[in-house]
Structures are given as structure tokens and as C-alpha cells.
Amino acid sequence: MSERTPVLIVGAGLAGLSTAVFLGLHGTPSLVVERHPSTSTQPKARGQQHHVMEALGYVGLAEAMVEASPRTTGFRLRIAESASGPVLREILHDTFLQLDDITPARSADASQASAERALAARARELGAEIRFSTTLESFEQSESGVRATLSDASGTRTVLADYLVAADGHRSPVRERLGIGTHGRGALGHSILWLIRADLTHLVGDRQVLYNLQNPELSGGTGVLVSTDHRDQFVAGVGYDPETQALADFPADRAVEQIRLITGLPDLEVEILDADTTEIGMHVADRFSSGRAHLVGDAAHTMPPQGGLGGNTAVMDGFYLAWKLAAVLRGEAGPGLLDSHDTERRPVGELIAENQYKNAIERSMPHLKRPDDTPPIEDPGMLLFGYRHNGAVVPEPGEDGELLEDPTEPTGRPGSRAPHVRLTTSDGELSTIDLFGREFVLLTESEAWAKAAEQAAADLGVRLRAHLLGGEMTGDWAAKYGVTTDGAVLVRPDRFIAWRSPGAGDGRDLAAALRTVLCR
């Protein structure tokens, strides 16, 4: 006997669980299968940047990430010979990034383990089923859906799904079975990572730290020291050559020697709790979609950790894909809407992965620098909020299709993120960002446009809500959105602008825009 689910998600990491959470936000249940027995138990990636916190705010998880963050006085990011110095370059010191002019959100610093637990719990609350110790053995696609064979301790079973989401990591068996290749800079290096317990209070104080180390005495000439959720636990790592070395070549005495070089403390007492190896590389899938299967997270793009956006990008992949899947499954959109997953997310994945490659060269691997390598984008706001989605939008005449724009000088043009503008209401202050996330939104000060939105929603059966600004909800929004007070702006559920009318217009234009965006 087979069972059915609208969406089968393979992988319960950040990408898979985020996809399940945001599907639940839009009323679409899913089945998540994960071959491991639980969510991650290792610190791995950490931190939720502002764009992620905006998205998590829509599902009530932003505060959970703040609560899961270590209580510290700041964050320090250095390039150095050791954690004790000398310091080659200070990148961040004793402060977390503030982007008040761009977003109402704050960042958080929860570890991947903590974030995954919170995401899994919320996904279940929103209707997802999560099965651990369950493996996808095979699948096949047809015009009507996906037929998958799953196995667990009780045997095998068949699941019929409308769509398949591959969130199964950088090796992604699903991607391989789909015949999708990868491109990018390839493998850049390999590291041995130790989870250690040591008292470094006198060295790091009450801060979260990340040290990228360049030191010829370290194995491979490089190293790293990263804080965890526990003040006496850190991840320490060095480079190694898998062609000539293995984890066994670093017994306890050699591991402790390397850790002491990393910290710059020759007499440090160290307890090694765990050890593992990892590849540092930059790979992007040649396609993010194939038929009814869609790639997210590391299945779609892997990148060096320098820059801290790998896990963040995985979460956002789920945020941007989920509303499209839900709209198609509800019948609000045609299947063509899902083609925009590749059109929109692959350029962004390539941009962020390439930038983190450049960060890796600057911070940890200067020996790999090429004469034609350009510097990384240092402006975090640009990477978090400046990229544009140019698929499911109605472009304006003369649109150049460029991928980036400065979010501190928003244009309001289709494809860009809807700008953050503070609004005053009778209940207090809020942001335009707070109005998005769940449905299509029309921002306007015109009663005529508000009525047109109501009519279009009824005629097309689309979730569309008009927010009439200028009355009980006021703010200087029109200029940032590039319209007059007679105009209107259509915002997608993922807070990207789909279409706008700079001034007064015909309600039929709004309906036509919705049909275009939704591939009706």
C-alpha cells in the first residue's frame, strides 16, 4: 500500500526543515525523511543574519533563535597567526552587525544544532511529518507526480508525492539520480576538525570568536578556532591532504600539539571530545530544478564557510521555494511558476558561493589567489538584501536584469526586495516588512487600487490583501517604492516586488500582472 503527500522533502537539515516550515505557513503539509537518527548534534554552522530573521519572524521562530543564542558581549572575527596573535587583520570587533536602515530585524547566533531542533518542532506544529532513520532508496517522476521508495527499520514503503525537494546535502544522491552536474571552483582544501573542551576565558573573554589562521607551523599552513554554544567548548581545525594523510595520522598527542599552536597557548590543557574531516569547496548545481524535483541547501550549492552565509542561504532557499510550491498545489498558480526556482535562486547561489570563495582566499588560503581574482563584496547589506529575483516578476521597460542593487538606496522596481519603511498605526509602529510573508500584498493609498485588488483576488482565486496606507497606517513609503500616492505596488509572499504602477491605473493591469507572475 502506498501513501500520499503533497511534498516529499529528503533531508532534515536547515534547508529541508525550513522548506517544511514555510510550506506549513502556507497551509501545505509535507513529509520530511532523514537518514540520520536525529537533527544535527554538532555545532556546525551558526548564526542567523537579518534576512533569515525576517523570514523566521513570519513563522514565529525569530525569538526562538535569539533565545538559543549564547549570551555574549560581542563577536570577534580575526585573521591571525594564532588566537593569541599576532593579528593580521581584524574584520569584526565586539559588535554584531546593525542594519537598522534596511530592516527591522536583528541577527541571532544560534548554532545549527539548536536551529534545526527549533525548525523541526515548528514544522510539526504546522503540519509536517518528520521521519528519522529513513532513507530514500529510489524515485521516479511522471507527468502526474513522484513515486518514491523509502526504507526504515520496519522495511520499505512507497510514497506518492506531487513534488520532491532535495535537501540531502552536498553529495546529494537525488541530484546525482537526476543527472544534474555541478560547476564552480571545486575542492579548495580539506580540514580536520576537533571539538574540544578548554578554558580560553582569559583569551576570548565573554565573546563569540572566529579566528582564521595562517601559520606555516600548522598542518596545511591554515587553521580555525570557532566558539560553540558552550563557553568551554570550541571547534579547532587545521588543513590536511587526504591524498597523503588521514584522521589516524593525527593521534591525541599530535592533535593537542596542533590545538596549542591554534590557540597560541603552549601549555593549554585540552580535552578532545570529537574529531571529523571535511572538504572545503565551492560547487553550484547546473540546474536547481528537474521536472517535479527541486534542489535546496547544500544539494544546490556548497561554499567555503568564510562569510557565514551557507546555512543562511539554505534557510532562504526553503523560504523562496515554499510559497511557489504551495501556490501551485492550491491551484492559484500554473506549474510554470516553479521554473523560476532555478531562474531566481541559481544566480543568487552562484553569487554568494563565489563571494565566500573570495573570502576564503583572503582569510585562509592566500596561496590560491589568482592575479585576476577580484576582492569579495564586503558590504553585508548588499549580500543579504541587495540581490534581485528576476523570474516571477513583471519587468518594466528598459529593465537591465542586473542581479544586485544597493538596498540603502532602494528603487522599488520589480525583482527587488520590498524596502523597509516604518509605518505608524493606532497600535504603534511597524515596518512594511511586517505586512508580507503570508500572501500577495498590494500597497497603495488609493481606494480604487484597493478595490481592484479585492476584485482580482475574487476573480483569480488568489490570496491577495490590499493595505491601504495613508489613513490609519501612515509612513513615507511611496518614494522608496518608486510610486506616487496614486500608485500601487504588488509584493509577493517572499517580500519581493512583483509589479508596480507608478500612478493611477486600470485594475485590469493588476489582474494581468498576477496572471503573468503566477503563470496562469
Q: Using the 3D structure, point to which of 331, 348, 382 is the last residue of a domain.
A: 382
Helices (H), 206-309: 252-263
508 in a domain, yes or no? yes
Do both 399 and 483 map to the same domain?
Answer: yes
Do both 12 and 110 map to the same domain?
Answer: yes
79 in a domain, yes or no? no
Q: pLDDT digits over 307-361, tens only?
A: 889 999 999 999 999 999 999 999 999 999 999 999 999 999 999 999 999 999 9
Domain interval for residue 244: 185-281
Question: The domain spanning residue 473 has which CATH number?
Answer: 3.40.30.120
Do both 324 and 396 map to the same domain?
Answer: no
97 in a domain, yes or no? no
Q: pLDDT digits over 202-217, tens only?
A: 999 888 899 999 999 9
pLDDT at 92: 67
76 in a domain, yes or no? no
Do both 450 and 499 map to the same domain?
Answer: yes
User: Which residues of the chain fall below pLDDT 70?
Assistant: 1, 92-97
**Residue 141 grid cell:** 517522476
pLDDT at 216: 94
Do both 290 and 270 map to the same domain?
Answer: no
Do both 121 and 263 map to the same domain?
Answer: no
Question: The domain spanning residue 259 has which CATH number?
Answer: 3.30.9.10
Instruction: Report the alpha-carbon distance of residue 370 to residue 391 in Å, rounded.
Output: 33
pLDDT at 329: 98
**Beta pairing class for 222-227 and 155-166:** unpaired
- Mark 453-491 as b/e (b = at least 16 C-beta within 10 Å): beebbeebebbbebbbbeeebebebbebbbbeebbbbbb
Q: Using the 3D structure, point to which of 281, 298, 321 is the last residue of a domain.
A: 281
Q: Using the 3D structure, point to which of 350, 382, 414 is the last residue of a domain.
A: 382
240 neighbors 190 (Cβ within 8 angstroms): yes
pLDDT at 95: 47
- Which positions ≥6 away from 57 have C-beta within 8 Å? 105, 434, 437
84 in a domain, yes or no? no
Do both 177 and 194 map to the same domain?
Answer: no
Do both 27 and 37 map to the same domain?
Answer: yes
Do both 412 and 482 map to the same domain?
Answer: yes
Tally of structural domains, the chain: 3
Do both 414 and 509 map to the same domain?
Answer: yes
Instruction: Report the alpha-carbon distance of residue 226 to residue 77 in Å, rounded.
Output: 9
101 in a domain, yes or no? no
Do both 348 and 369 map to the same domain?
Answer: yes
**Residue 369 grid cell:** 589567489
pLDDT at 208: 87
Place of cell 543568487: 348
Question: The domain spanning residue 38 has which CATH number?
Answer: 3.50.50.60
pLDDT at 398: 85
CB neighbour class for 397 (10 Å; exposed up to 12, middle 13-18, buried from 19): exposed
122 in a domain, yes or no? yes
443 in a domain, yes or no? yes
Do both 315 and 427 map to the same domain?
Answer: no
